[in-house]
Chains A and B, each alone.
Chain A
Amino acid sequence: MERDSSKSDENEKEEEFSDISLRPLDLSDVDDFMVWATDDRVSRFCRWNTYTSKEDAVNYIKNTVIPHPWFKAICIKNRPIGAISVIPNSGEDSCRGEIGYLVASKYWGQGIATKAVKMVASTIFSEWPNLERLEALVDVENPGSQRVLEKAGFQKEGVLRKYCIQKGSTRDMVVLSLLSTDPKL
Chain B
Amino acid sequence: MAMAALRREGRRFVPLISPQPISAVQSTLISQEQAPLGVRSISTQIVRNRMKSVKNIQKITKAMKMVAASKLRAIQIKAENSRGVWQPFTALLGDNPSVDVKKNVIITVSSDKGLCGGINSTSVKISKALQKLTSGPEKQSTYVVLGEKAKAQFIRDSKDNIELILTELQRNPLNYTQVSVLADDILKNVEYDALRIVFNKFHSVVSFPPTMATVLSPETVERESESGGNLGELDSYEIEGGETKGEILQNLAEFQFSCVMFNAVLENACSEQGARMSAMDSSSRNAGEMLDRLTLTYNRTRQASITTELIEIISGASALQG
- The answer to whether A and B interact is no
Give the A-binding residues of B (Cβ under 8 A): none
